[in-house]
Structure 1
Amino acid sequence: MAEAERITGTPESEPGSGAEPEAGSEGGRPAEGERGTGRGRRRIAALLLVAAIVYLLDLGSKLAVVAKLEHHAPVEVVGTLLQFEVIRNRGAAFSIGEALTIFLTIIATVVIVVIFRIARKLYSLPWAIALGLLLGGAFGNLTDRIFRSPGVFQGAVVDFIAPAHFAVFNLADSAIVCGGVLIVLLSFKGLDPDGTVHKD
């Protein structure tokens, strides 16, 4: 009987025979929704990993320069073209808007909330990297604003990277700028956070 089924090409199971595909699958393969969910989780994991790396690098560098360099003469890294010099900045990135500390803290908090909302439908790895840079940088500077003097939500951000003829900044500022530039490039190419590509 099995030999006759093989010769005639009779499938091993017919509709109604009781052999059903596994639940949550299509023809034995994972359903599209399940594949999408798994891919989305990997992208969120990538976002959080990038954010954690940026945050830890920023926090560690600030702790180190405050302990070793604050109240000391600038340290030359590349002659006078690049120095390490600790300053306390109550403004935004690159010492802009020093009278708006509380307002800037609110903006940073809103940015973090928006990133988490976008992450719910995140399927693009480049977007995950870009948002991770923004998230890590925002958390880095927000930590300073919450925990450093002169007070909660009014704290001064530690900046220490001092190129010649340019504002002093930190690693969090750099990550925010890089993330923002990457988002502009991705938007210009028409790539959305959900992985789709649109053309105007």
Structure 2
Amino acid sequence: MRLVFWAGLWTLLLDQVTKYWIVHALNLRELASLDVFPPFLNLRMAWNYGINFGLMSWANPIMRWVLIAVALLISALVLWWVHRDQGGRWQMLSAGLLIGGALGNVIDRVLYGAVADFINMSCCGINNPFSFNVADIAVFAGAIGLVLFSPPAKNAS
């Protein structure tokens, strides 16, 4: 369980440091965009009030608190699951990534009212309109890791 804690803590810290640097130090909220290595890597400020890709961003302001509660509940359930399951190192690392990323986005919703997304990647003539952040990468990698590295279910028979 120690690995879950450390992976989650470092993920959360990396996410919050990058967001602070992008939003405040680089002032991307005012600049709106900054080309780093076009078209492959750009910084494009986007405030996500909904879930993935801005889905449900039209919902009323109470949705902010619902999404915070859902993220906290999922984090608690994942923590309970890996504690009960006692999987291996990769499962614990994956859980830490997922939990750290989820908590990073929760902090954004509390501080800003929305999640600060800023990484934009495009390629091969396809212009990607969506931005994401370090927490999103961690949640995605953690979820995939939990699927791949969790031990098979035990038969009840």
**Structure 2 length-normalised TM:** 0.81
Instruction: Give the Cα separation in 1 of the matches to 2:10 and 2:91.
Output: 16
Q: Secondary structure at the match of 1:71?
A: helix
Instruction: State the superposition RMSD in angstroms.
Output: 1.9
Instruction: Give the Cα separation in 1 of the matches to 2:32 and 2:4.
Output: 38
The unaligned stretches of length 5 or more in structure 2 are none
CA distance 1:174–1:91, shift in 2 (3 Å): same
| Pairwise CA distance, 1:119 | 4.0
Structure ranking higher in helix proportion: 2
User: CA contact under 8 A between 2:43 and 2:118: conserved in structure 1?
Assistant: yes
> How many residues are matched?
143
| Pairwise CA distance, 1:185 | 1.8
**Structure 1 length-normalised TM:** 0.65
The unaligned stretches of length 5 or more in structure 1 are 1-43, 149-154
Q: Secondary structure at the match of 1:86?
A: strand
- Detail structure 1 runs of 4+ shifted over 6 Å in the superposition: none
User: CA contact under 8 A between 1:108 and 1:142: conserved in structure 2?
Assistant: yes
What per-residue deviation string (whole Å, max 9, x for no partner) do you get for residues 48-103 of structure 1? 11101110010001101111122115211221232012221111233232124332
What per-residue deviation string (whole Å, max 9, x for no partner) do you get for residues 92-127 of structure 1? 233232124332222101112112322433342111
Larger relative contact order, structure 1 or 2 (CA cutoff 8 Å, min sep 6): 2
Instruction: Give the Cα separation in 2 of the matches to 1:117 and 1:183.
Output: 13
CA distance 1:101–1:73, shift in 2 (3 Å): closer
Percent identity at matched positions?
28
User: CA contact under 8 A between 1:93 and 1:169: conserved in structure 2?
Assistant: no
Q: Secondary structure at the match of 2:118?
A: strand
Q: Who wins on radius of gyration, i.e. which is larger?
A: 1
